[in-house]
Structure 1
């Protein structure tokens, strides 16, 4: 299997390198292409920092991956996934792994995630894809356990490769030294941490992450992750809604 590793935290993220090392250890042929700068919250956007329509791509070397081609791309992860599908970084990937994201991606708010957006874009272009996120809290007490997320993700690699083209999995892993087997979970309406728009009172507003109290649905990704379980959710990309009578 040929695998593209991307993310929305940027080419310098340790989670990106850890996920690439995990894919190499699994025996896949790996290429890395990730935003040159952080691109969190960009969904499946196709924006880029370009000059006359040209997107700058620079070769990089990632820690522990001297033989793996890696590229810093002045674009959002959705555009990177699209470009990869059309051969910009070699042959089109069979599998796209997006992450490991610094923070969970749970609930319907995954719509806004650049990590998930890259996976969904890859799926629309024929690849199997998995978004991988580590539930790093707002105030972590220790360095993130990237290798735990990769170890859990690796248990799903063969299952992902066997899924039909266009399949998408969303994996969330608790930030701890060890984690169990992923549990299948539904999408919560919202996660325990939500974005709130704050009026600054001077004609401007800001966006902040806040912890919201309240009961989460028992079988939801947000609830199970909060209880310390890795969660996996199969996602479907944009499609028509046949349930609406027009």
Structure 2
């Protein structure tokens, strides 16, 4: 399988390199292309950093990935997934893996995630896609268990490869030394954290992030992850709504 590894935390993220190493160890043909700098919250945006539709690309070397092509791209992950499907980094990928993201992506708030946005963009452009996130919380400690997330994701690789192009999954893994197989979960109404307006002044709005209070919907991705379970959710990208009468 030809596999593209991308993310929204940027080319220097340890989670990106860990996921790429996991895919390469699985025997897949791996190419890494990720934003040159952090691009969280960009959804499936197609913004590039240069004018005249030019996108700057720099060849990079990543730890533990000798011989694996890696590129720092001055663009959001959605655009990277799109141009990869058109052969920008070699043959179009059969699979796109996005992550490992530093922080969970759960609930309907996945709409705003650059990690998930890359996966959904890949899925509507002919690839199978998996977004992978590690639940590190708002104030993570020094130890981030990237390998746990990669181990859980690797257990899904063969199944993902068997599925038809166009599928997209969202995987969240607790930040623990070990995790069992993921549980199937629906999307919570909200994520576990939300943005709030903290204050406004002349010409600016200041935001803060708060933890969502109250009981989480049982069986949702947010609830199961809070209980210490990895979660897996099948996502569908933009589609018509047959229930609305026009």
Aligned to 2:174: 174
Q: Which runs of 5+ in 2 are unaligned?
A: none
Aligned to 1:161: 161
1:82 shift after superposition: 0.3
Q: Does 1:63 align with 2:63?
A: yes
How many residues matched? Answer: 246
Distance 2:218 2:233 in 1: 15
Distance 2:22 2:15 in 1: 11
Aligned to 2:42: 42
Aligned to 1:200: 200
Aligned to 1:230: 230
Aligned to 2:145: 145
1:95 shift after superposition: 0.1
Distance 1:148 1:223 in 2: 20
Q: How does 1:64-103 map to 2 (within 5 A)?
A: 64-103=64-103
Distance 1:86 1:63 in 2: 27
Q: Does 1:121 align with 2:126?
A: no
Aligned to 2:132: 132
1:193 shift after superposition: 1.3
1:202 shift after superposition: 3.0
Secondary structure at 2:147's aligned position in 1? helix
Q: TM-score, normalised by structure 1?
A: 0.98
Aligned to 1:191: 191
Distance 1:212 1:193 in 2: 5
Secondary structure at 1:65's aligned position in 2? coil
Q: TM-score, normalised by structure 2?
A: 0.98
Q: Which runs of 5+ in 1 are unaligned?
A: none
1:137 shift after superposition: 1.1
1:156 shift after superposition: 0.5
Computed over aligned residues only, the root mean square deviation of the Cα atoms, in angstroms, reads: 0.8
Aligned to 1:109: 109
Superposed structure 1 runs of 4+ greater than 3 Å apart: none
1:138 shift after superposition: 0.9
1:84 shift after superposition: 0.2
